């Protein structure tokens, strides 16, 4: 288990909101697109029950432009 394991949809969204991201729109299926109004960066978040897989969280963090350390501190 890595440092990004065990994060739920709510945990990830809370961190994104602190970083300044806002809900943009729903995507295909049960996914949501979140956008940062200043940088224009977008990321797609799966809105599923349970924990988000570690690789998916890693991809979300990469799309936000934050470092792993910055994301975990939020």
- CATH number for the domain harbouring residue 24: 3.30.920.30
Whether 60 is in a domain gets the answer: yes
Mean pLDDT of 40-54: 95
Say what the pLDDT of residue 1 is. 67
Range 35-48 burial, b when 16+ CB lie within 10 A, else e: bbeeeebebebeee
Whether 2 is in a domain gets the answer: no
Whether 1 is in a domain gets the answer: no
* Domain count across the chain: 1
CA distance 52 to 64: 16
The pTM (predicted TM-score) of the whole model is 0.91
Mean pLDDT of 4-15: 93
Provide the pLDDT confidence category of residue 44 given band limits of 50, 70 and 90.
very high
Q: Which domain holds residue 24?
A: 9-66
């Amino acid at each position: 288990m890595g440092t990004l394991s065990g994060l739920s949809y709510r945990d990830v969204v809370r961190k994104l909101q602190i970083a300044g991201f806002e809900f943009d729109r729903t995507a295909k299926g049960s996914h949501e697109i979140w956008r940062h109004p200043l940088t224009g960066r977008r990321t797609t978040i799966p809105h599923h029950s349970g924990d988000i897989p570690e690789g998916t969280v890693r991809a979300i963090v990469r799309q936000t432009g934050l470092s792993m350390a910055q994301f975990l501190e939020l």
